[in-house]
């Protein structure tokens, strides 16, 4: 028996419950790649550049922060396109060419002139060029390897976004402080470049699950029409529209909201750090739980926690309870896309995973853009955040109800899972 045959037999004998299973290397490589993907370097890092650009170019904070909305709506447009590409060609094929292109796009920000329309055009181009690097591509690859430990695998991979969100402010913030914002963009490009070896050597679909020659006919699961027409998919769309509306607005406005309530800026920053820590905890804990407990039920409990947090914030809570509120909101943000990826595979299989995920992520971004505008507008109209937060409390309660209906309905409709296996 040749060495290659023996290795093949050993690989098949190791299942996903063992850390020797090759899929775990894919998971950790995806986690590293997501640490420095566009979700962190093109979204979470924007705040690092607001003050330096304000000083250097003389722009207002509103002008600079508009880039955040531009990125959200650009991602909304490109997400279904990413889903189509991933379903047709596979995650690895879409990811690899985007890494060097994304690095170049970030590096060119070094030459940014003090011309607002060029700045805004850049924030349309950067996420579009990095289209293959948003989580969908990596989650499609990771999901192809797992069934019994799918939740844990997705949770570990997605934790990369939270880890990157912690590392990037430290590294890039230091570069900006010492060398200026232009070097900061070169630093971001360098961090992205570091992910290429891990992706090249380790990120690939499980043999037999990647589309071949652009055809997805051999990939198991429901057709797009069957999945998109299902009750479960429509409810997922509603859930993630509401989650987008709530979560992004609260991330952006949590610090000013706390300061309005009488919390000191230093304590508000500590609350925001607590939020970030619980995003990571939420990803990992949810990943562990949903392998053993209904994913919709787990999310239902977490969203009820967010309902409590919104209600407490609405009435100007201060003291140590603010840390509880931040933790509850962080858990929801950490859990949401773990749950989405898990449910899409369990309900519909892998055949059109990318398209389905892309549509829901697009809906989420639409809600995010709307929520980020709605909350400050309601504050302006009423003089406080209370009215907007009470609306968000009702929205989270509605979201929780939809999740409970999904949990009950999936138990009564097992044919969804059977179709997805065939």
Is residue 283, in this structure, part of any structural domain at all?
yes
Q: Which of 41-55, 380-394, 408-422 has the lowest mean pLDDT?
A: 408-422
Structural domains in the chain (count)? 2
pLDDT tier, 264 (very low <50, low <70, confident <90, very high otherwise): confident
Nearest to 254 by CA among 240, 271, 241: 271
The whole-angstrom separation of Cα 142 and Cα 136 is 10
Is residue 243, in this structure, part of any structural domain at all?
yes
pLDDT tier, 6 (very low <50, low <70, confident <90, very high otherwise): very low
169 and 230 in a single domain? The answer is: no
Residue 196 has pLDDT above 90, yes or no: yes
| Residue 157 DSSP symbol | H
Report residue 224: phi and psi, to 5°: -60, -40
Cα 32 off chain centre by: 14
Is residue 331, in this structure, part of any structural domain at all?
yes
pLDDT mean across residues, the chain: 86
What residues make up the domain containing 130?
19-202
Nearest to 343 by CA among 154, 87, 132: 154
Give residue 246's pLDDT.
Answer: 86
417 and 310 in a single domain? The answer is: yes
More confident residue, 99 or 44: 99
Largest CA distance in the chain: 78
192 and 238 in a single domain? The answer is: no
Is residue 8, in this structure, part of any structural domain at all?
no
34 and 151 in a single domain? The answer is: yes
Cα 410 off chain centre by: 25
Q: Which of 84-98, 100-114, 405-419 has the lowest mean pLDDT?
A: 405-419
226 burial (CB, 10 Å; 0-12 / 13-18 / 19+) is middle
357 and 398 in a single domain? The answer is: yes
Is residue 174, in this structure, part of any structural domain at all?
yes
pLDDT tier, 89 (very low <50, low <70, confident <90, very high otherwise): very high
Give residue 404's pLDDT.
Answer: 94
Q: Write out pLDDT tens, residues 276-327.
A: 788 889 989 999 999 999 999 999 999 999 999 999 988 877 778 889 998 9
Q: Write out pLDDT tens, residues 22-75.
A: 999 999 999 999 999 998 888 778 778 888 898 899 988 778 878 878 888 899
Nearest to 210 by CA among 119, 93, 109: 93
Which domain-ending residue is among 144, 168, 202?
Answer: 202
Taking each helix axis from N to C terminus, what angle separates 321-348 and 353-382, rounded to the nearest 10 degrees? Answer: 150
pLDDT tier, 250 (very low <50, low <70, confident <90, very high otherwise): confident
Report whether 309 contacts 246 (CB < 8 A): no
- DSSP secondary structure string for all residues of 222-242: --HHHHHTSHHHHHHHHHHHH
249 and 342 in a single domain? The answer is: yes
172 and 240 in a single domain? The answer is: no
Which domain-ending residue is among 170, 202, 234?
Answer: 202
Is residue 182, in this structure, part of any structural domain at all?
yes
pTM reported for the whole predicted model: 0.83
CATH of the domain at 252: 1.20.1250.20
Is residue 216, in this structure, part of any structural domain at all?
no
pLDDT tier, 415 (very low <50, low <70, confident <90, very high otherwise): very low
189 and 266 in a single domain? The answer is: no
- DSSP secondary structure string for all residues of 32-73: HHHHTSHHIIIIITGGGGHHHHHHHH---HHHHHHHHHHHHH
160 and 243 in a single domain? The answer is: no
């Amino acid at each position: 028996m040749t060495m290659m045959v023996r290795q093949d037999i050993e690989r098949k004998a190791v299942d996903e419950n063992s850390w020797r299973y090759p899929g775990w290397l894919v998971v950790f490589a995806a986690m590293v790649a997501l640490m420095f993907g566009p979700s962190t370097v093109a979204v979470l890092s924007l705040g690092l550049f607001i003050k330096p650009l304000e000083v250097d170019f003389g722009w207002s904070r509103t002008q600079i922060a508009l880039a955040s909305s531009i990125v959200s709506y650009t991602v909304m447009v490109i997400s279904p396109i990413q889903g189509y590409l991933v379903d047709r060609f596979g995650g690895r094929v879409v990811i690899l060419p985007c890494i060097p292109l994304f690095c170049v796009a970030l590096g060119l920000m070094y030459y940014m002139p003090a011309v607002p329309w060029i700045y805004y055009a850049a924030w349309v181009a950067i996420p579009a060029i990095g289209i293959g690097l948003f989580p969908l591509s990596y989650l499609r690859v990771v999901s192809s390897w797992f069934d019994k430990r799918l939740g844990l695998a997705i949770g570990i991979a997605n934790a990369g976004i939270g880890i990157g969100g912690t590392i990037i402010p430290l590294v890039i913030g230091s570069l900006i402080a010492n060398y200026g914002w232009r070097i900061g963009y070169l630093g971001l490009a360098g961090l992205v470049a570091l992910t290429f070896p891990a992706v090249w050597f380790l990120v690939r679909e499980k043999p037999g699950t990647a589309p071949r020659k652009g055809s997805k006919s051999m990939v198991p699961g429901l057709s797009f029409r069957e999945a998109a027409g299902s009750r479960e998919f429509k409810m997922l769309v509603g859930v993630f529209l509401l989650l987008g509306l709530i979560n992004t607005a609260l991330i952006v406005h949590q610090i000013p909201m706390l300061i309005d309530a009488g919390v000191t800026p230093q304590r508000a920053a500590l609350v925001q750090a607590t939020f970030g820590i619980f995003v990571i905890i939420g990803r990992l804990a949810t990943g562990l739980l949903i392998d053993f407990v209904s994913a919709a039920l787990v999310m239902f409990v977490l969203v009820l926690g967010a309902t409590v947090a919104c209600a407490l914030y609405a009435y100007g809570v201060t003291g140590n309870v603010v840390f509880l509120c931040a933790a509850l909101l962080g858990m929801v943000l950490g859990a949401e896309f773990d749950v989405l990826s898990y449910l899409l595979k369990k309900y519909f299989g892998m055949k059109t995973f990318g398209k389905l995920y892309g549509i829901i992520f697009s809906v989420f971004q639409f809600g995010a853009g709307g929520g980020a505008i709605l909350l400050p507008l309601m504050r302006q109209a009423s003089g406080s955040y209370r009215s907007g937060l009470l609306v968000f409390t009702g929205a989270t309660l509605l979201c929780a109800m939809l999740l409970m209906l999904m949990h009950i309905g999936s138990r009564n409709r097992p044919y969804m899972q059977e179709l997805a296996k065939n």
